Structure 1
Amino acid sequence: MKKSTLGTSTIAIAFFMLSVTFCNGQEKKESQKNTIDLVQARKEIVKKVKQFEDDVNNADSLAVANHYATDGTWGAIKGKDNLIFAWGKTARSIAKSNLKVRFTTNTVSSDGEFIFETGLFEFVEKDNSVKRQGKYLLVWKKEAGEWKVYRDLDL
Structure 2
Amino acid sequence: MRKSLNFIKSTIVSVTATTLLLVLVSCNSSKKEKEATFDKVAAMQAIEKENKIFTDAFNKGDTINAVNGYAADAKFMPPNQKAASGRKDIQSTLAGFIKAGAGGLSIKPVEVWGDENMLTVEEEWSMTDKDGKEVDRGKALELWKMEDGKWKLFRDIFNSDLPCMAPPPSK
- TM-score bucket of the superposed structures, by smaller chain: 0.7 to 0.9
Q: Which of 82, 89, 92 does residue 96 from structure 2 map onto?
A: 89
Q: Structure 1 pair 91/126, CA: closer, same or farther in 2 (3 Å)? A: closer
Q: Shift of residue 145 of structure 1? A: 1.1
Q: Which of 130, 152, 155 does residue 151 from structure 1 map onto?
A: 155
TM-score by length of 2: 0.78
**What SS class does the counterpart of residue 94 from structure 1 fall into?**
coil
Contact 1:61 1:88 in 2 (8 A): yes
> Identity over aligned residues, as a percent?
25
2:21 paired with 1:20: yes
The letter of the residue matching 1:67 is G
5+ residue gaps, structure 2, are 78-82, 160-171
Contact 1:94 1:100 in 2 (8 A): no
TM-score by length of 1: 0.85
The equivalent of 2:40 in structure 1 is 38
Q: Shift of residue 22 of structure 1? A: 2.2
Q: Shift of residue 46 of structure 1? A: 0.8
The equivalent of 2:118 in structure 1 is 114
The equivalent of 1:8 in structure 2 is 9
Number of residue equivalences: 152
The equivalent of 2:163 in structure 1 is none
Contact 1:100 1:124 in 2 (8 A): yes
Q: Which moved more, 1:54-63 or 1:29-38?
A: 29-38
How many angstroms apart in 2 are the aligned matches of 1:140 and 1:27?
26
Equivalence map 1:57-136=2 (5 Å): 57-75=59-77, 76-95=83-102, 99-111=103-115, 113-125=117-129, 128-136=132-140
How many angstroms apart in 2 are the aligned matches of 1:88 and 1:127?
19
Q: Shift of residue 23 of structure 1? A: 3.1
Q: Which moved more, 1:107-116 or 1:120-129?
A: 120-129
CA RMSD of aligned residues (A): 2.1
